[in-house]
């Protein structure tokens, strides 16, 4: 009869008392068995107990056995050890008994609630199926509780006829009282003082009433928060954009909010529902003082700063339980430092840049500059998508990857020569500064929701360069600039970036062998048997020394078989090439550090190369 009875546990047979247990009650309702209780609120048998009336349930246990024995209907008496619920406070056994309660009839609006669930966006997606199944199978909602204080149930009873009184007139009277004196007035005033003056019972015209003593279920209380907050404040709007809580709230706040809203307004109270896991330690254990694995947020803030705590939250996939430990935080500190140092480098190289006078137009930028701007627009697009979809851990990876790979290990490394050795007001240097300015101006806004304090610090330094809003949080949000997106350029550079990785690997090997100290001591010789690859490399010939950060490049088309040095490195990222590292010819320029055969040709500046000498002559004209 009952699904809670199992054949592989116990006897497979249990007694059923619909008035004394949740599962028993549900069976009683299902099979239309009368629901009644034989115990009163003191745990004594009531009139339903017949000759046992007045006995406590413990006394009744003994008396019933004696009566069965006396009648000859007792087959056997024995004791069975089993689990039984106990009061969490006094540790004594709990006795279940059915009592009169107030319920919300879920069936009256269940279908509408299910339809509204379908309209809501759930993050992650499985949340929709979870709450749908719960609402679909939910029984009536008991909203009354037997507590001495809480939000009262605004119900009255006529002492004359017992009529339950709750209607628009009485509700408005209670509402007016609560607005003036608060809900505590329910407990301080009599029913007569709360009801309208000269109010009579609609049924018997009686004037003597009593108040309901039960209070509201606190879940009904919190489930009405959408109306209490959003519908009473002009600056806010209903329904809510987002409900955010732990995974346990599909049964709690998410569901009760839905039920109260659909019942009252025929619409879900939220557009999006996001659920997260719970914080655990590095081994996946729940935080516990007894275990000693609790890490308090304040401790993290004091040791690392608030932004590290915020970054940890953003870096975690909140859809599952979130791990935290000192090791995890230390790793985040390193990642944070990379982002911060990237911003620091950019700001330092914008110290003499004035956006009003020094900006170089897009069409005057070289391919590398335009490529980085294009890649940055792709980042803006992806980060916006991460925020829109609440995928903060993806935002974290996107920002870190762009700062560490696209900027620090690539663009910033390459443009150091321009920034440090080119004439201060030259177009090539101003072009690099233009790109840096445009990137930092939007990058600081992208990180602001997570790295709030760092972003504000960066912004205040940036304001010294360009007049802007007082705070980064008052600045316009970055949008993708399609004019800077160049997919053809990105496609053109794909293979060069692969080749660059192979060249850097070959340089790393030679550096490890002690053959060179840094990359500027090297000449890179690239061999290929593929004519298309050769032509492709030749098209980049003037840029390759800068891209690879070496002093000289030689590209060789190998026709037929040619025995290359065993030192040649075969491309992994781009297998159609071989890379041979040799020492760069010439002497080291003291200014740009490149090795060049032109060092010494200028009589005035004999220790620097021709390129640097030209700059010096222009800058220090006699």
For 348-367, what is the mean pLDDT?
Answer: 95
- With a cut of 70, say whether residue 562 has pLDDT above it: no
Q: Would you give the DSSP letter of residue 85?
A: -
What residues have CB less than 8 Å from 91, skipping those under 6 apart? none
What residues have CB less than 8 Å from 443, skipping those under 6 apart? 343, 376, 399
Lowest mean pLDDT among 97-101, 404-408, 518-522, 603-607: 97-101
Q: Would you give the DSSP letter of residue 267?
A: S
Interval 206-264: pLDDT, tens: 999 999 999 999 999 999 999 999 999 999 999 999 999 988 899 999 999 999 999 99
pLDDT at 582: 95
Q: 35: closest CA among 22, 50, 52, 51?
A: 22
For 327-348, what is the mean pLDDT?
Answer: 94
* Residue percentage of the chain with pLDDT more than 90: 70
- Pairwise CA distance, residues 306 & 316, whole Å: 16
Q: 42: closest CA among 89, 91, 101, 99?
A: 99
pLDDT band at 32 (very low <50, low <70, confident <90, very high): confident
232-237 contact pairs (CB < 8 A, 24+): none
Q: First-to-last CA distance in the chain?
A: 107
Specify the residue for token string 């080119």: 422
What residues have CB less than 8 Å from 141, skipping those under 6 apart? 103, 104, 106, 217, 220, 256, 259
599 and 588 Cβ atoms separated by less than 8 Å: yes
Instruction: Give the other-Cβ count within 10 Å of 506's Cβ.
Output: 25
- Pairwise CA distance, residues 377 & 379, whole Å: 5
Average pLDDT along the chain: 91
For 37-57, what is the mean pLDDT?
Answer: 88
For 93-104, what is the mean pLDDT?
Answer: 88
3-state class percentages of the chain: helix first, strand second, coil last, to nearest 5: 50, 10, 40
- With a cut of 80, say whether residue 13 has pLDDT above it: no
316 and 428 Cβ atoms separated by less than 8 Å: no
Instruction: Give the other-Cβ count within 10 Å of 156's Cβ.
Output: 24
Task: Pull the structure tokens for residue 272.
Answer: 């999006």
The continuous run of DSSP H or E covering 525 comes out as: strand 522-528
Q: 267: closest CA among 235, 226, 234?
A: 226
- With a cut of 70, say whether residue 553 has pLDDT above it: yes
- Pairwise CA distance, residues 292 & 215, whole Å: 39
- CA separation (Å) from 484 to 222, 409, 438? 49, 22, 11
Backbone conformation region of residue 322, classed left if phi is above 0, alpha if psi is from -120 to 50, else beta: beta
- With a cut of 90, say whether residue 495 has pLDDT above it: yes
* Residue percentage of the chain with pLDDT more than 70: 98
pLDDT at 468: 78
pLDDT at 565: 63
Interval 436-491: pLDDT, tens: 999 999 999 999 999 999 999 999 999 888 777 899 999 999 999 999 999 999 99
What residues have CB less than 8 Å from 260, skipping those under 6 apart? 220, 223, 224, 226, 227, 269
Please report the DSSP string for 121-153 in residue order: EEESTHHHHHHHHHHHH---EE-EE--SSSSBP
Domain ranges of the chain: 310-484, 498-585
- With a cut of 90, say whether residue 607 has pLDDT above it: yes
- CA separation (Å) from 30 to 4, 19, 34, 312? 14, 14, 11, 50
The continuous run of DSSP H or E covering 414 comes out as: helix 412-421
Q: Would you give the DSSP letter of residue 113?
A: H
pLDDT band at 317 (very low <50, low <70, confident <90, very high): confident
pLDDT band at 285 (very low <50, low <70, confident <90, very high): confident
pLDDT at 357: 93
The matching CATH number, chosen from 3.10.180.10, 3.20.20.140, 3.30.2320.20, 3.30.465.10, for 498-585 is 3.30.2320.20
Tell me how far the alpha carbon of residue 363 is from its chain's centroid.
40
pTM greater than 0.85 = no
Q: Would you give the DSSP letter of residue 93?
A: B
pLDDT at 5: 75
- With a cut of 90, say whether residue 177 has pLDDT above it: yes
Measured CA angle at 260 (ends 259, 266), to 5 deg: 80
- With a cut of 80, say whether residue 8 has pLDDT above it: no
- With a cut of 80, say whether residue 294 has pLDDT above it: no
What residues have CB less than 8 Å from 507, skipping those under 6 apart? 516, 519, 522, 524, 548, 550, 581
pLDDT band at 349 (very low <50, low <70, confident <90, very high): very high
- Pairwise CA distance, residues 345 & 195, whole Å: 72
pLDDT at 440: 97
Interval 364-375: pLDDT, tens: 999 999 999 999
226 and 240 Cβ atoms separated by less than 8 Å: yes
Tell me how far the alpha carbon of residue 117 is from its chain's centroid.
22
Task: Pull the structure tokens for residue 192.
Answer: 């007569």
Please give the CATH architecture assigned to the domain spanning 310-484.
Orthogonal Bundle (1.10)
Burial of 60 per CB tally in 10 Å (0-12, 13-18, 19+): buried
Interval 156-174: pLDDT, tens: 999 999 899 999 999 999 9
- Pairwise CA distance, residues 62 & 38, whole Å: 16
For 297-307, what is the mean pLDDT?
Answer: 91
- List phi, psi (to 5°) of 591: -95, -50
For the beta sheet containing 156-158, the strands, ordered from the edge strand earlier in sequence to the opposite edge, are 164-165, 156-158, 209-211
- Pairwise CA distance, residues 213 & 144, whole Å: 10
Instruction: Give the other-Cβ count within 10 Å of 535's Cβ.
Output: 12
For 4-8, what is the mean pLDDT?
Answer: 72
pLDDT at 326: 84
pLDDT band at 10 (very low <50, low <70, confident <90, very high): low
- With a cut of 90, say whether residue 561 has pLDDT above it: no
- Pairwise CA distance, residues 45 & 419, whole Å: 92
Backbone conformation region of residue 390, classed left if phi is above 0, alpha if psi is from -120 to 50, else beta: left
Please report the DSSP string for 504-515 in residue order: HHHHHHHHHTTS
3-state secondary structure of 595: strand
């Amino acid at each position: 009869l009952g699904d809670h009875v199992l054949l592989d546990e116990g006897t497979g047979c249990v007694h059923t008392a619909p008035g004394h247990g949740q599962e028993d009650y549900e069976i009683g309702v299902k099979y239309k068995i009368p629901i009644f209780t034989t115990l009163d609120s003191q745990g004594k048998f009531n009139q339903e107990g017949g000759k046992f009336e007045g006995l406590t349930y413990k006394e009744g246990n003994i008396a019933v056995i004696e009566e069965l024995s006396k009648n000859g209907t007792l087959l056997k008496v024995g004791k069975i050890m089993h689990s039984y619920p106990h009061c969490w406070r006094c540790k004594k056994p709990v006795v279940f008994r059915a009592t009169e309660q107030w319920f919300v009839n879920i069936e009256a609006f269940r279908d509408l609630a299910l339809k509204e669930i379908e309209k809501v966006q759930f993050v992650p997606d499985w949340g929709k199926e979870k709450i749908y199944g719960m609402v679909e199978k939910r029984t009536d909602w008991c909203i009354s509780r037997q507590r001495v204080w809480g939000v009262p149930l605004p119900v009255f009873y006529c002492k004359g006829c017992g009529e339950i009184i709750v209607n628009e007139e009485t509700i408005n009277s209670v509402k007016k009282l609560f607005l003036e004196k608060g809900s505590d007035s329910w407990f301080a005033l009599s029913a007569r003082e709360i009801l309208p003056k000269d109010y009579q019972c609609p049924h018997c015209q009686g004037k003597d009433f009593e108040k309901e003593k039960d209070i509201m279920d606190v879940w009904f209380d919190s489930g009405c928060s959408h109306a209490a907050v959003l519908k009473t404040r002009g600056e806010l709007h209903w329904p809510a954009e987002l409900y955010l809580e732990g995974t346990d709230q599909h049964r709690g706040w998410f569901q009760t909010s839905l039920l109260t809203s659909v019942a009252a307004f025929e619409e879900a109270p939220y557009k999006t529902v996001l659920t997260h896991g719970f914080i655990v330690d590095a081994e996946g254990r729940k935080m516990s003082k007894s275990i000693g694995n609790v890490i308090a947020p304040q401790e993290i803030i004091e040791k690392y700063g608030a932004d590290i705590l915020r970054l940890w939250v953003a870096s975690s996939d909140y859809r599952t339980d979130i791990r935290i430990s000192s090791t995890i935080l230390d790793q985040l500190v390193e990642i944070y430092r990379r982002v911060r140092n990237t911003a620091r480098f950019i700001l330092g190289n914008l110290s003499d840049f004035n956006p009003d006078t020094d900006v170089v137009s897009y069409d005057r930028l070289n391919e590398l500059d335009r490529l980085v701007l294009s890649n940055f627009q792709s980042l803006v697009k992806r980060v916006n998508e991460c925020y829109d979809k609440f995928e903060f851990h993806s935002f974290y990876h996107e920002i870190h990857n762009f700062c560490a790979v696209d900027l620090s290990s690539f663009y910033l490394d390459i443009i150091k020569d321009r920034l440090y050795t080119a004439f201060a007001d030259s177009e090539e240097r101003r072009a690099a500064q233009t790109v840096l300015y445009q990137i930092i101006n939007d990058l600081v806004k992208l990180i602001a929701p997570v790295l709030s304090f760092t972003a504000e610090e960066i912004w205040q330094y940036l304001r010294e360069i360009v007049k802007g809003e007082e705070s980064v949080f008052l600045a316009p949000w970055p949008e993708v600039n399609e004019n800077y997106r160049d997919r053809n350029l990105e496609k053109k550079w794909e293979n060069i970036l692969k080749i660059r990785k192979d060249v850097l690997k070959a340089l790393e090997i030679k550096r490890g062998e002690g053959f060179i100290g840094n990359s500027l001591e090297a000449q890179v010789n690239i061999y290929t048997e593929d004519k298309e690859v050769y032509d492709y490399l030749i098209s980049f010939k003037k840029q390759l020394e800068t891209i690879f950060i070496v002093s000289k490049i030689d590209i060789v088309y190998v026709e037929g078989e040619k025995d290359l040095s065993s030192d040649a490195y075969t491309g992994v990222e781009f297998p159609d090439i071989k890379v041979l590292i040799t020492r760069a010819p010439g002497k080291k320029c003291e200014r740009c550090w490149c090795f060049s055969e032109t060092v010494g040709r200028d009589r005035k500046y004999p220790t620097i190369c021709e390129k640097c000498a030209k700059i010096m002559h222009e800058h220090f004209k006699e």
